[in-house]
């Protein structure tokens, strides 16, 4: 019994010293990881893998007029390791583009797309359906790129479009 107590007395301080030596390196690694994670999260302040529902992102120009509006039913926050940027993977999206007066120019429905946070760009690699507000055009494509800060869109093919052109009225001769 005395032998066991003597061993504990000698071993306990040596274990504590080793623990002190190991702890600072672990703490240093933890601090390094935290600062990197803070940099990645600084734009959104949410961790990768988080799911957000019913996200609404309005965009205005310098004159505080509406340029575009993006609504996303479900968003998953992800980090793209290839470019080391945060992207949002969205499902059931709608994009409204506005004209210079603030009226709706077009409405677009997208089943799934990636939102590039650092570029304020939406990249759709699924079916895109864009309808003009006046009902004079409709376009359907297999993808698209939307610049939400400028209100511009590029539809990627294959694509189909339909335009309604008003009929000319017959002009009677005087």
Q: What is the pTM of this model?
A: 0.65
Quick check: 114 and 90 in contact, CB under 8 A? Answer: yes
* 171 assigned to some structural domain: no
Q: Which helix (H) or strand (E) holds 68?
A: strand 66-80
pLDDT tens digits in sequence order for the chain, 174 residues long:
444 444 444 444 444 444 343 333 333 344 444 444 444 443 456 777 888 899 898 999 888 889 999 999 998 888 665 555 667 899 999 999 998 888 999 999 999 999 887 788 899 999 999 999 888 899 999 999 999 888 889 999 899 999 888 777 766 666
Residues 112 and 36 grouped into a single domain: no
pLDDT the model gives residue 38: 44
The strand ranges marked E within 11-167 are 51-60, 66-80, 85-98, 104-116, 121-124, 128-132, 137-147, 152-163
Tell me the average pLDDT of the chain.
75
Q: Which helix (H) or strand (E) holds 105?
A: strand 104-116
Domain boundaries, position 28 = 1-42
* 174 assigned to some structural domain: no
Residues 117 and 80 grouped into a single domain: yes
């Amino acid at each position: 019994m005395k032998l066991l107590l003597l061993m504990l007395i000698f071993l306990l301080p040596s274990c504590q010293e080793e623990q002190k030596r190991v702890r600072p390196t672990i703490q240093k690694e933890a601090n390094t990881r935290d600062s990197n994670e803070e940099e990645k999260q600084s734009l959104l302040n949410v961790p990768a893998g988080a799911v957000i529902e019913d996200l609404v992102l309005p965009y205005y120009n310098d004159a505080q007029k509406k340029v575009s509006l993006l609504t996303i039913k479900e968003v998953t926050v992800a980090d793209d390791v290839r470019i080391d940027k945060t992207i949002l993977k969205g499902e059931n999206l709608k994009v409204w583009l506005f004209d210079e007066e603030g009226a709706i120019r077009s409405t677009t429905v997208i089943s799934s797309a990636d939102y590039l946070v650092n570029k304020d760009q939406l990249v759709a690699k699924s079916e895109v359906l864009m309808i003009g507000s006046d009902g004079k055009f409709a376009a359907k494509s297999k993808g698209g790129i939307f610049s939400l800060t400028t209100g511009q869109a590029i539809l990627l093919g294959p694509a189909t479009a339909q335009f309604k052109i008003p009929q000319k009225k017959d002009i009677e001769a005087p």
